[in-house]
A and B are shown apart, each in its own frame.
Chain A
Amino acid sequence: MRNPIGSQIGTLEYVIRLVIGTILLSALWVTSVNASSMDTFQFKDEATQLRFQILSKELRCPKCQNQNLEDSNSKIAVDLRNNLYNLLQEGMSDQEIIDFMVYRYGDFVLYRPPLKEQTYILWFGPLVILFGFIIGVVFVLRKRSQVKVNEHDLSTQEQANLDDILNKK
């Protein structure tokens, strides 16, 4: 009992504890990260706060490029977060805020690009590739099944030889 890791049950218990501990720790970490960009803002209600959270995840930082406004601590992201807060306090709708940002920074600020001619390849490219592969696979499989079974048949002599070998055993 002094060394619970040594016994079988002890090992299991140890693993479970480790897993639970990791989950708890990561949950703690996630909440602390979420709190960091929030705590300076005072919202009039919870719905506005939720909209702020969603929008700052949807909008991309123009400078840092692979971060959203919530993640980034670059100067422009902080400025835009402040701005987002002000726009929300002014009572703008989500769509108005997104239009406001797109007018100034272009489609680039959106993590989800809008569906239009220039973005067709983004939206449909993967599907086209997928279908290409499916067609390719079907084509190859069909070709394989068409190979004549007869070609692999043994000649009479070969069959006799085979029988011979098998019967010997």
Chain B
Amino acid sequence: MKSIIRFIPLILFFLLAVLLYRGLFLNPQSMPSAMIGKPLPNFELPTLKALDQPVGRDDLKGDIVLLNVWATWCIQCKYEHPYLLNIAQDPRIKLYGLNFTDDHKAALSWLKQYQDPYVFSIFDEQGALGLDIGVFGAPETFVIDHTGIIRKRFAGPINDEVWQQEFLPLIETLEAEMAEGAS
């Protein structure tokens, strides 16, 4: 009995060490979005290329919609951009942009310079839609399913690894859900 008590501090130390060691490899930025499972809120905002034609939620057509939050002040968006051009080729998804609290001219010339992967980019100068969906920075990418529900929020740049691990499984799940709903 006494020898067990003697080992309690050592056991506690190891438990604490394991806990803290795990903490070293957690990403504090990867927080679950509060918006998951909630419908995409409606909005009325212009697009980058047509300032006089406001669009809304229903204009984001497509069964699986990816809404990518970007801005010219965001350095990681530049890193992510070539891969977005890649994703836009995927026939299963439709990629839309949300240009977030940005300068209109700079945003247009960005799309010209680096090519435009988006069906269109919503021009959210005041960050109104961004606030409504809980955006806290750029880049962020939301996945919206065929019923208009937000299913995922990924904060950070997308690359091949992220795409394979974070997005493809969800896309497959959504496709299965749609097939189930149709039958």
| Chain A residues at the B interface, C-beta cutoff of 8 Å | 62-63, 65, 75-76, 79-80, 83, 102-108
Contacts and interface: CB of A to CB of B under 8 A. Distances in A.
A106 to B, nearest CB: 3
Contacts, number: 37
B48 to A, nearest CB: 20
Contact of A102 (B31, B34, B130, B135): B34
B54 interface: no
23 contacts: A63-B136, A75-B73, A75-B101, A75-B137, A76-B135, A76-B136, A76-B137, A79-B101, A79-B130, A79-B131, A80-B131, A104-B34, A104-B35, A104-B131, A104-B132, A104-B133, A104-B134, A105-B34, A106-B32, A106-B33, A107-B34, A108-B31, A108-B34
A114 B35 CA distance: 18
A146 to B, nearest CB: 15
B137 A103 contact: no
Contacts of B131: 79-80, 83, 104
Contacts of B101: 75, 79
Provide the main secondary structure of the chain A interface: helix
Contacts of A62: 31, 134, 136
B137 A106 contact: no
A65 B133 CA distance: 18
A102 B28 CA distance: 19
Contacts of B31: 62, 106, 108
Contact of A106 (B132, B134, B135): B134
A79 B127 contact: yes
A103 B133 CA distance: 9
Interface string B122-143: 0000010011111111000000
A102 B33 CA distance: 10
A145 to B, nearest CB: 18
A63 B134 CA distance: 11
Judged by DSSP, the binding face of B is: loop
B78 to A, nearest CB: 17
Nearest to B137: A63
Nearest to B130: A79
A80 B128 CA distance: 11
A137 to B, nearest CB: 14
A80 B31 CA distance: 18
B70 to A, nearest CB: 14
Contacts of B28: 65
A83 B130 CA distance: 12
A95 B18 CA distance: 40
A60 to B, nearest CB: 11
Interface string B26-39: 00100111110000
A65 B33 CA distance: 14
Contacts of A65: 28
A98 B161 CA distance: 37
B171 to A, nearest CB: 24
Given A106-B32, A106-B34, 7 more contacts: A62-B134, A75-B73, A79-B101, A79-B127, A106-B31, A106-B33, A108-B34
B154 to A, nearest CB: 15
